[in-house]
């Protein structure tokens, strides 16, 4: 069976720095896979290659069997891969609802002429998009904030909005870059619950996260990178006890 996402020998260098080296990964539909590693391990570079921000220097990225390596981010998004960022990238001067509507635009069939004339078809489609946008906000618990400016939301709510905006592109694979970063314990528990609900929608989730309790609780599989090199891959319990993983995090040999 063809995996939803597969990387083969994926590599990216910056001058003499090998940020990602020969990463092979398969992500099946309806699975949560976490990518972990020490700071500077190449995790976000890996995500940037997958989402089209960086062009890989080697290897392939197959989404549903089609090579998307080197394609523009908007093309990759249309093919079903969406993401959030480590540093929140909302449109702060736009409302919460408008942030979702912007994300829906790449799926819209509106023409400039229908926009100018505001045809019956245009108005019907606009109404449908607004209703759908509210459903995404309701899913992440933000419906009551629809008219608020996104920049005025508390940090944890901004994280939820960014996820809702990514979901509004209707992806099959969602990349989450440190979604629980900076959250208090209660917000972290709620984020774990939200990610589990996203998987229940039938999506696959590829996750970068430093919070190990989150990773071990929610992951079906874990890929560990160290200086861009994969050093372990498998079920959480297997990875947790891998000597190379312990050494990478602690910087010391593990007693036999």
Task: Look at residues 152, 151, 174, 150 and name the one whose alpha carbon lies nearest to residue 163.
Answer: 174
Q: What is the DSSP string of 96-108?
A: HHHHHHHHHGGG-
110/214 Cα distance (integer angstroms): 41
CATH topology of domain 1-79+226-256: Rossmann fold (3.40.50)
Task: Look at residues 191, 219, 188, 192 and name the one whose alpha carbon lies nearest to residue 206.
Answer: 219
Q: Give me the pLDDT at residue 209, please.
A: 92
Contact status, residue 189 vs residue 209, Cβ threshold 8 Å? no
DSSP annotation of 136? H
Q: Give me the pLDDT at residue 255, please.
A: 43
217 Cβ contact partners less than 8 Å away, ≥ 6 residues apart? 192
Q: Give me the pLDDT at residue 234, please.
A: 95
Q: For residue 178, with 0-12 CB atoms within 10 Å meaning exposed, 13-18 middle and 19 or more buried, which class applies? A: buried
Q: What is the DSSP string of 124-165?
A: HHHHHHHHHHHHHHHHTT-GGGTTSBGGGS-HHHHHHHHHHH
Contact status, residue 55 vs residue 11, Cβ threshold 8 Å? no
Domain ranges of the chain: 1-79+226-256
Q: Give me the pLDDT at residue 252, please.
A: 52
pTM score over 0.85: yes
Task: Look at residues 42, 14, 7 and name the one whose alpha carbon lies nearest to residue 208.
Answer: 42
Task: Look at residues 83, 77, 59 and name the one whose alpha carbon lies nearest to residue 69.
Answer: 59
Going residue by residue through the chain (256 aa), what tens digit of pLDDT does each one get? Answer: 789 999 999 999 998 899 999 999 999 999 999 999 988 899 999 999 999 999 999 999 999 999 999 999 999 999 999 999 988 989 999 999 999 999 887 666 555 555 555 666 666 667 788 889 999 999 999 999 999 999 999 999 999 999 999 999 999 999 999 999 889 999 999 999 999 999 999 999 999 998 888 999 999 999 999 999 999 999 999 998 899 998 887 565 444 4
148 Cβ contact partners less than 8 Å away, ≥ 6 residues apart? 95, 96
């Amino acid at each position: 069976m063809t995996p939803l996402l597969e990387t083969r020998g994926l590599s990216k260098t910056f001058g003499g720095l090998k940020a990602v080296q020969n990463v092979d990964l398969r992500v099946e539909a309806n699975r949560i896979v976490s990518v972990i590693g020490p700071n500077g391990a190449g995790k976000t570079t890996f995500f940037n290659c997958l989402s089209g921000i960086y062009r890989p220097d080697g290897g392939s990225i197959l989404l549903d069997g089609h090579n998307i390596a080197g394609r523009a981010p908007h093309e990759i998004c249309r093919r079903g891969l969406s993401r959030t960022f480590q540093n929140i990238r909302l449109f702060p001067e736009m409302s919460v609802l408008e942030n979702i509507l912007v994300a829906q635009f790449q799926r819209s069939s509106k023409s400039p002429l229908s926009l100018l004339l505001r045809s019956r078809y245009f108005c019907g489609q606009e109404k449908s998009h607004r209703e759908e946008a509210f459903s995404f906000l309701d899913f992440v618990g933000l419906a009551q904030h629809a008219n608020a400016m996104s920049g005025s939301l508390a940090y944890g709510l901004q994280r939820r909005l960014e996820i809702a905006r990514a979901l509004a592109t209707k992806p099959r694979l969602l990349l989450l870059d440190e979604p629980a970063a900076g959250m208090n314990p209660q917000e972290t528990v709620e984020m774990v619950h939200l990610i589990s609900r996203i998987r229940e929608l039938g999506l696959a989730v590829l996750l970068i996260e430093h919070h190990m309790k989150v990773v071990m609780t929610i992951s079906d599989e874990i890929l560990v990178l160290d200086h861009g090199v994969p050093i372990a891959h498998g079920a959480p319990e297997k990875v947790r006890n891998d000597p190379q993983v312990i050494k990478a995090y602690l910087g010391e040999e593990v007693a036999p």
